[in-house]
Amino acid sequence: MTELSAHLPQFQHGQLTENFPDNHLSNTNDNSERRRHDNSERRRNDNPESEANGQPQNSTQQVVEQDEEEDEELTLKYGAKHVIMLFVPVTLCMVVVVATIKSVSFYTRKDGQLIYTPFTEETETVGQRALNSVLNAAIMISVIIVMTILLVVLYKYRCYKVIHGWLIISSLLLLFFFSFIYLGEVFKTYNVAMDYITVALMIWNFGVVGMICIHWKGPLRLQQAYLIMISALMALVFIKYLPEWTAWLILAVISVYDLVAVLCPKGPLRMLVETAQERNETLFPALIYSSTMIWLVNMAEEDPEAQRKASKNSTYDKQAPANQTQNEDAEADDGGFSQEWQQERDNRIGPIESTPESRAAVQALPSNSLTSEDPEERGVKLGLGDFIFYSVLVGKASATASGDWNTTLACFVAILIGLCLTLLLLAIFKKALPALPISITFGLVFYFATDNLVQPFMDQLAFHQFYI
C-alpha cells in the first residue's frame, strides 16, 4: 500500500482526478489503487500529447513529487468539495425528517413497537425500563449482525441472485408501502381530501420511477433525491417505532458495532470488502458499476438497509461522469471555482482567461476522456445507513427534547462536524472507514448535554433577555 500511495500524490496536482479516490469514505485499498495505478499509467502516456497544449505537466509533477511527504495530510483543500457534496444530502435528509416530525404527529405517537424490540418501556420502575431497553437493543443488534453475516455468506458463495432479489423486494416495500403511509399521514395532517385513485396513481408513478432510478439508470439528481427520500422514510419509521431509551442505546451500540465491523480483521464488513477486492468486482452489478465499498456502515437491520446502501453508492458513482469535468476543474486550485465549472460544463473547451486556475483547468482537460472510463472513482460515497442513523438522531432530538430547536441545531452541527472529521481521517488513512462512530458520538454527547445543561441556561437567559 505504501508504494501505491506514493503514486497518488504525484498526480494530485497534475491530474486532479487522483484526489477523488482518497476521499471515498468507503474506499478500499487495493482495488481502487490498482485502478488508480492504471490511470496514472495511462496519463503518463498522455503527457507527451498534452505538452502540445502548452501545459507544463512534467514540471508540475516534479514540483509535486517534492511535496509528497507533506501531502499526507491533503484534503483540507481538495476535500472541501467532497465534504460539501456530502453535507448537502445529509442536511436535506435531516431537514426532511425534522420537518415531518414537527408537522405530522403520526410519527411521534406511540402506536406499538417493532417486532424486533419486543420489550416495552412502559414499566413501573426505572430499573425494569433500563433492563428492557438493554434487551431490546441487544435483540436489534443481533438481528443486524445476523443479517450482515448472512449477506457476507451469500456474497462469498456467489448467490448473487438471492441478494439481488432481496434488494428488489426491500426497495419495493419501501418505495410503495412506506411512502403510501407517509403520504396518507401528511394528507391527514393538512386536512387535504384525496381520493384513492389519485393516490394510487401518484404512488405508482413514484414507486416505479424510484425503482428504475435506483436499480437501473436515471438522472443523477433524481437518483440522489430518491435515495434521500427513502433514507428519510426509513428514519421516520425508526423514530416512530423505537421506544426512547432503546433508540439511544441502539444508536450508541451501532456506532461501536460499526467501528468493530469495519476495522477488525475478522469483521463481516471488512471481509465483504476484501472479498470484493479479491474478485475485483463491484458488489452489486445491477446497482453500481464501480466501487467495492458500500457496506461501509452498519449492515442491514432490515432488508431495505442493504439495498439502500448499495444504491447510495451507485448514486455517487453516477455523479462521477456527470461531474467529472467540473470536479477536476473545480479542484484545480481551491474548493470553489464556480466560473471555471460553468465554462467547462458549457463549452468543454479550454478556459479563456489565463489565470492560474484556468491553466490548471486546462491541465485537467486531457484526462477527461480517460476518466469517463473510470467513473467509479470520482465523488465521495457514503452508505445510506449513515444517512438513516444521522436522521434518526436529529429526528429524535427534535421530537423528544425539551430544548427543542436548540437541541436539534446542536445535534445537527455536531453530526456535520463528525462527518468532516471522518472525511479528514479518510484522507489520512485512505481506506474504508466507518462513518458512524464519530458523528454519532458527537451527536449523542451534544444531545444529552444540550438537553440537560444548556436548555435551562438558555431558558433563563431568554426569560431575562440577557445575551451572551
Partner 1 sequence: PALGLFLFTIARDPLRIIILIAGAFFWLVSLLLSSLIWFIAVKASDPQDEPLQKGLLIFGVMFSVLLQEAFRFLYYKLLRKAIEGLVALSEDGCSPISIQQMAYVAGVGFGLMSGAFSMINLLADALGPGTVGIHGDSQLYFLTSAFMTMVLIFLHTFWGILFFHGCEHRRWWEITAVVVMHLAVSGSTFCNPFYVGSLVPSYLLMAAAAAWAYSLSGGSTQNLRRFFLCKS
How many Å separate Cα 130 from the centre of its chain? 32
Among residues 22, 303, 329, 386, the one annotated as catalytic is 386
What letter does residue 177 receive in the DSSP assignment?
Answer: I
Among 8, 13, 389, 426, the residue binding partner 1 under the rule CB under 8 A is 13
Does the footprint of partner 1 cover residue 54 (CB under 8 A)?
A: no
Question: Does 416 help bind partner 1 (rule: CB under 8 A)?
Answer: yes
- Count the neighbouring beta carbons within 10 Å of the beta carbon of residue 338: 9
Spatial contact of 140 and 301, defined as CB atoms under 8 Å apart:
yes
| Smallest separation, CB 87 to partner 1 (Å) | 7
User: Could you give the string, one character per residue 425-454, with x where binding to partner 1 holds by CB under 8 A and - elsewhere?
Assistant: ---------------------x--xx-xxx
Angle of the 303-330 helix axis to the 338-347 helix axis, nearest 10? 90
Cα–Cα distance for residue pair 174/226, rounded to 1 Å: 11
Rounded to the nearest 5 degrees, what angle is found at the Cα of 433, between the Cα atoms of 16 and 116? 135
Site mask, partner 1, residues 323-352, x = CB under 8 A?
----------xxxx-x--------------
CB of 345 to partner 1, least distance (A): 16
Among 76, 131, 201, 264, binds partner 1 (CB under 8 A): 76
Contacting partner 1 (CB under 8 A), which of 60, 117, 136, 343?
Answer: 60
Which residue, among 434, 401, 382, has the nearest Cα to 91 in the 3D structure? Answer: 382
Q: Which of 150, 199, 404, 425 binds partner 1 (CB under 8 A)?
A: 404
Q: Assess 80 for contact with partner 1 (CB under 8 A).
A: yes
Please report whether residue 464 would count as binding partner 1 according to CB under 8 A.
Answer: yes
**Alpha-carbon torsion 341, 344, 346, 351, what sign?**
positive
Give the separation between CA 74 and CA 71, rounded to whole angstroms. 5
Beta-carbon contacts of 212 under 8 Å, excluding residues fewer than 6 positions away, are 218
CA dist 295 and 148 (Å) reads: 9
Closer by beta carbon to partner 1, 234 or else 415:
415
Grid cell for residue 19 = 484526489
441: left (phi over 0), alpha (psi -120 to 50) or beta: alpha
Catalytic residue among 258, 329, 374, 451: 258
Distances (CA, A) of 143 to 117, 140, 296, 324, 414: 10, 5, 18, 40, 28
CB of 101 to partner 1, least distance (A): 13
258 is annotated as an active-site residue: yes
Min dist. Cβ of residue 468 to partner 1 (A): 4
Among 135-143, 201-209, 345-353, 412-420, which window interacts with partner 1 (CB under 8 A)? 412-420
Name which of 215 and 359 has its Cβ closer to partner 1.
Answer: 359
Distance between CA 89 and CA 111 in Å, rounded?
Answer: 30
Which CB atom, from 143 or from 409, has the smaller least distance to partner 1?
A: 409
From candidates 138, 154, 252, 417, binder to partner 1 by CB under 8 A: 417
Residue of 78, 241, 248, 390 that binds partner 1 (CB under 8 A): 78
Q: Which stretch binds partner 1 (CB under 8 A): 44-52, 126-134, 162-170, 399-407?
A: 399-407
168 interacts with partner 1 by CB under 8 A: no
Give the number of residues written for the chain: 468
**Calpha distance 179→204 (Å, rounded):** 10
Pick 195 or 346: Cβ nearer partner 1: 346
Identify which of residues 70 and 195 has a Cβ nearer to partner 1 in the complex. Answer: 70
Residue 150: what are its φ and ψ, rounded to 5°?
Answer: -60, -45
Cβ nearer to partner 1, comparing 59 with 142: 59
Of 321 and 443, nearer to partner 1 (C-beta) is 443
Residue 83 touches partner 1, criterion: CB under 8 A: yes
d(CA 9, CA 61): 9
Interface residue with partner 1 among 87, 178, 187, 289 (CB under 8 A) is 87
> Does residue 125 interact with partner 1 by CB under 8 A?
no
For every residue of 116-139, DSSP letters joined together read: T--S-S--SSHHHHHHHHHHHHHH
Q: Does residue 386 carry a catalytic annotation?
A: yes
What DSSP string runs through 201-227? HHHHHHHHHHHHHHHS---HHHHHHHH
Q: Smaller CB distance to partner 1: residue 84 or 349?
A: 84
Nearest-angstrom CA–CA distance, 231 and 305: 9
The distance from CA 444 to its chain's CA centroid, rounded to whole angstroms, is: 19
- Active-site residue set: 258, 386
Binding site for partner 1 (CB under 8 A): 13, 60, 63, 67, 70-71, 73-74, 76-78, 80-81, 83-84, 87, 333-336, 338, 356, 360, 403-406, 409-410, 413-414, 416-417, 420, 446, 449-450, 452-454, 456-458, 460-462, 464-468
